[in-house]
Structure 1
Amino acid sequence: MSLLRAKIQDVFNEPACEQNRGKDVKARKKGCSKPLTPGAAAGGCAFDGAKIVLQPITDVAHLIHAPLACEGNSWDNRGAASSGSTLWRTSFTTDLTELDVVMGQGERKLFKAIREIKEAYGPPAIFVYPTCVTALIGDDIEAVCKRAAEKFGLPVVPVHAPGFVGSKNLGNKLAGKALLEHVIGTVEPDDAGPYDINILGEFNLSGEFWLVKPLLDRLGIRVRACIPGDARYFDIACAHRARAAMMVCSTALINLARRMEQRWDIPFFEGSFYGITDTSEALRQISQLLVKKGADPEILGRTEALIAEEEAIAWKKLAAYRPRLEGKRVLLNTGGVKSWSVVHALMEIGIEIVGTSVKKSTVEDKERIKQILKDDNHMFEQMAPRELYAMLSEHKADIMLSGGRTQFIALKAKTPWLDINQERQHPYAGYDGMVELVRQIDLAIYNPIWRQVREPAPWDCQPAVREELPRTKSEAVTLHAVQELAGTTADDFGEC
């Protein structure tokens, strides 16, 4: 437990975070993550955060040392996509029982599970995750992993991020620390070059990074390691030989970026691949960092030529959507890097932002939003479901972009909705991704279903009934009896 406490304290002391630097020593020790309320997941525990960062490493076996319920249904987390191995989608757990805990069989069961994975799958490495139960009973995960690595001849990496230590964001950082201590720098590549870079905090959701990588390939820039999206263990082990790095999600891996800069002199910047302008700026900054690290300055000219070509193609495609979407109002209920990058991307084509959530955003993210929107009146930390529903039902927004948790609020308010979070089915990064995002917004807003669902339901109105004169005496008696039984006459019915 003392080892775990030291690791957590080290993560809290993050000099690269402007918000953390502004605190006094006492406040800095408390960290930036709120402690979890017992019995509440608070949007995801530290174990969940660690799995989010590490599971997209596709050829690694991820072993959960815990009771079965701790693994749950997280085998396909965040919708990350792989171009190779699918081992990461196989769940491994030691499935501890009460008897194992009482009899102290946890460490022995963990060693046995590592051996079985090695013999059955032969992965290049195994990541071991203790959870609340195994951390509390004091299983020495570090010692078991070290012994297994010596016995079986493969890296066995302990990831110390049990759920009770804090939030999902803290788990992200603990995962980055595990990579730094046990993986990065353990293999020396024989093909290092002046155009190698790392991309940190990119998860390749729905294959998004595959829309960006071809742009880098055309510039002769090689992605040494994309952490964690579509990553391989060997690539991450060699990541210390990159010349520059781009950080996509600072709240997740800023500690990893800073430590790599200190240890291996790999400069980094924070950028975004959402939107035309931000994608172009990211490409420029990558090229500029590489030139500072010794690359040929001619790459700057090639970068500008590529940007001009791709921007012209993208704007030509977007021209068809501008008249249909200009002036449309969007409510963005997400967080993190998307709270400002997507805002900027949508405003480029004339869409109005009526609100954006900053619940998971850093201080830097909030400052960017203020610069983009020119004020902070459209920023909200948290909006209750009732307030969201009221805003949408009063037609203050034409569409809501959010995650799956709030989609039913929009559907109840009969308002178009588009998934912008990790469960989405379409990639939105890069130039082509921006065109796809706009196309999906257009399809959602102009879907004819919204006109239909907003009409009164058939059972709320009755069609007009034309009263005809009865042709016989018996027909007149029958009609009068029916109306008397119903308590109405033909005059009571009107058109909808």
Structure 2
Amino acid sequence: MSSLNAKNKDAFHELASEKSGSKGPKARLRNCARPMAPGTAVGGCAFDGAKVALQPITDVAHLIHAPLACEGNSWDNRGAASSGPTLWRTSFTTDLTEIDIVMGHSERKLFKAIREIKDGYAPAAIFVYSTCVTAMIGDDIDVVCKRATDEFALPVVPVNAPGFVGSKNLGNKLAGEALLKHVIGTVEPDEPGLCDINILGEFNLSGEFWQVKPLLDKLGVRVRACIPGDARYLQVASAHRSRAAMTVCSTAFVALARKMQERWDIPFFEGSFYGISGTSEALRRIADLLVKKGADPSLLHRTEILVAEEEEKVWKRLEAYRPRLEGKRVLLNTGGVKSWSVVHALMEIGMEIVGTSVKKSTLEDRERVKQTLKEENLVFESMSPRELFSLLLERKADIMLSGGRTQYIALKAKLPWLDINQERHHAYAGYEGMVQLARQIDLAIHNPMWPQVREPAPWEQALVV
């Protein structure tokens, strides 16, 4: 337990963020996110965070060492998409019972489960997740995984993130620690190149990364590892030979990026593929880092040509939507990188932001929001459903963008709503994603049902007469 506490504190002592990196030690420590007290599971537990962060690695079997209830529905986890294997979508659990726990059979059952998965599914690796129950009874999954690795000649990776140690965000960080300790650097690539990069914290939701990768392919930039979206185990294991990296969801993997920079000299930056200027800036910074690490300087010129071509095409396609969306007022209830990147993307097409949440956002995310909006009162931490409902009406929003949990608040206010979180069915990244985002907002706002919904009900009209 003491080792878990130490790991918990270390995970939140982060010095790699772009804003904090230039400050003194005391200022950096004050600005670090503080871990929640063990036992707190606001917004999800540490186990949930670790599994969410690793499950999109597609050719890996994810084994939950726990009673059955700890494993949920993995089939559509976060809406991440795979271009090949579907093994990651299958649920595996040791399904511990009271008898297993009381009689001390849990570690034996874990080893047996690993063997059954290896024989029945032939995965590239097996990730074993500890949970509250197995951590409290003292199961040593590190030892079991080490024995299974040796006996089966198969990577079996322990992920020590039991739910009670803290928040979902802590679980994200502990997942990165597991990759760094047991996976990254264990395989040497056949053909390392001067234009190899890693993309960290990209989950390929609804296939979003597939709209960005063709742009990198045109530049001759190879994504050695996209962690975790649509990743393969061997790609992650050889990620230490990339020349540069970009972190998309810094809340989850900025610590992993920093430690890879310290260990293997892989420079990184924090960026976003949402919006036109955001995508262009990300491509430019990737090219700049690679050239500084030895790539052909012509990459910078080719990047500018590609950016100019793509921006011209996307602005032409957006001409159909801009007159219909310009001046429309939008409220965002999201967090993380989307708290500023989607705000900037919407402002590019002329929409007015009447508020955005910054829950689960890093300090750097919050600073970017404030710089973009220029008004403090447009930023809020979190709100109760009643407060959110009132805000929609007070600020006369035309649409709300949020996750599925708050959609009914907008519907109760008789306002359009669009899913911007992980459950969405449309990809909004890159230039193509910007067009899709504008299209979906346009469809939602101008749906002919809204004028009808806002009319008095027939029985109410009868009463007025």
Q: Establish whether TM, by shorter chain, passes 0.5.
A: yes
Residue in 2 that maps onto 1:433: 433
**1:33 equivalenced with 2:22 (yes/no):** no
How far residue 459 of structure 1 moved from its aligned partner, in angstroms, is 1.6
Residue in 2 that maps onto 1:413: 413
CA distance in 2 between partners of 1:374 and 1:30 (Å): 23
| 132-141 or 319-328: bigger deviation | 319-328
Residue in 2 that maps onto 1:255: 255
How far residue 362 of structure 1 moved from its aligned partner, in angstroms, is 1.1
**Contiguous gaps of at least 5 residues in structure 2:** none
CA distance in 2 between partners of 1:13 and 1:431 (Å): 35
User: Is the contact made by 1:13 and 1:28 (CA closer than 8 Å) also made in structure 2?
Assistant: no
How far residue 14 of structure 1 moved from its aligned partner, in angstroms, is 2.1
Percentage of identical aligned residues: 75
CA distance in 2 between partners of 1:277 and 1:82 (Å): 27
Amino acid in the other structure paired with 2:253: L
CA distance in 1 between partners of 2:248 and 2:24 (Å): 23
> Which secondary structure state, in structure 2, belongs to the residue aligned with residue 157 of structure 1?
strand
User: Is the contact made by 2:329 and 2:352 (CA closer than 8 Å) also made in structure 1?
Assistant: yes
Larger Rg: 1
TM-score (norm 1): 0.90
CA distance in 2 between partners of 1:114 and 1:80 (Å): 25
User: Is the contact made by 2:8 and 2:35 (CA closer than 8 Å) also made in structure 1?
Assistant: no
Residue in 1 that maps onto 2:360: 360
> Which secondary structure state, in structure 1, belongs to the residue aligned with residue 371 of structure 2?
helix
User: Is the contact made by 1:12 and 1:28 (CA closer than 8 Å) also made in structure 2?
Assistant: no
CA distance in 2 between partners of 1:5 and 1:81 (Å): 34
How far residue 376 of structure 1 moved from its aligned partner, in angstroms, is 1.6
> Which secondary structure state, in structure 1, belongs to the residue aligned with residue 302 of structure 2?
helix
CA distance in 1 between partners of 2:257 and 2:28 (Å): 25
Amino acid in the other structure paired with 1:83: S
Residue in 2 that maps onto 1:330: 330
User: Is the contact made by 1:248 and 1:270 (CA closer than 8 Å) also made in structure 2?
Assistant: yes
CA distance in 2 between partners of 1:427 and 1:317 (Å): 17
User: Is the contact made by 1:347 and 1:353 (CA closer than 8 Å) also made in structure 2?
Assistant: yes
User: Is the contact made by 2:79 and 2:423 (CA closer than 8 Å) also made in structure 1?
Assistant: yes
Residue in 2 that maps onto 1:266: 266
User: Is the contact made by 2:200 and 2:245 (CA closer than 8 Å) also made in structure 1?
Assistant: yes
Q: Work out the number of aligned pairs and report it.
A: 463
| 13-22 or 306-315: bigger deviation | 13-22
Change in 2 beyond 3 A, CA 1:451/1:375: same
Deviation per residue, 1:392-438 (Å, 9 max, x gap): 24561000000000000000110000000000000000000001001
**Contiguous gaps of at least 5 residues in structure 1:** 463-492
> Which secondary structure state, in structure 2, belongs to the residue aligned with residue 194 of structure 1?
coil
CA distance in 2 between partners of 1:30 and 1:282 (Å): 25
Aligned runs of 1:23-422 on 2, under 5 Å? 24=26, 32-35=34-37, 38=39, 41-394=41-394, 396-422=396-422
CA distance in 1 between partners of 2:178 and 2:111 (Å): 20
Amino acid in the other structure paired with 1:34: M
User: Is the contact made by 2:9 and 2:35 (CA closer than 8 Å) also made in structure 1?
Assistant: no
> Which secondary structure state, in structure 2, belongs to the residue aligned with residue 377 of structure 1?
helix
Return the structure number with greater relative CO, CA threshold 8 A, min gap 6: 2
How far residue 456 of structure 1 moved from its aligned partner, in angstroms, is 0.8
CA distance in 2 between partners of 1:9 and 1:400 (Å): 36
Deviation per residue, 1:214-264 (Å, 9 max, x gap): 000000000000000000000000100000000001110011000000000
How far residue 494 of structure 1 moved from its aligned partner, in angstroms, is 6.7
Amino acid in the other structure paired with 2:178: A
Q: Name segments (4+ residues, structure 1) moved above 3 Å.
A: 17-31
CA distance in 2 between partners of 1:2 and 1:171 (Å): 17
Deviation per residue, 1:32-88 (Å, 9 max, x gap): 22225x5x6311100000011100000000000000000122342111000000000
CA distance in 1 between partners of 2:27 and 2:322 (Å): 51
RMSD: 1.8
CA distance in 2 between partners of 1:374 and 1:12 (Å): 29
Residue in 2 that maps onto 1:469: none
Amino acid in the other structure paired with 2:34: C
> Which secondary structure state, in structure 1, belongs to the residue aligned with residue 127 of structure 2?
strand
User: Is the contact made by 2:46 and 2:163 (CA closer than 8 Å) also made in structure 1?
Assistant: yes
User: Is the contact made by 2:354 and 2:395 (CA closer than 8 Å) also made in structure 1?
Assistant: no
Change in 2 beyond 3 A, CA 1:386/1:31: closer
Deviation per residue, 1:359-410 (Å, 9 max, x gap): 1111111111111112222000112211211232456100000000000000
Amino acid in the other structure paired with 2:35: S
Change in 2 beyond 3 A, CA 1:6/1:350: same
Change in 2 beyond 3 A, CA 1:220/1:19: closer
Deviation per residue, 1:271-317 (Å, 9 max, x gap): 00000001000000000000000000001111000000000000001
Change in 2 beyond 3 A, CA 1:494/1:94: closer
How far residue 322 of structure 1 moved from its aligned partner, in angstroms, is 1.1
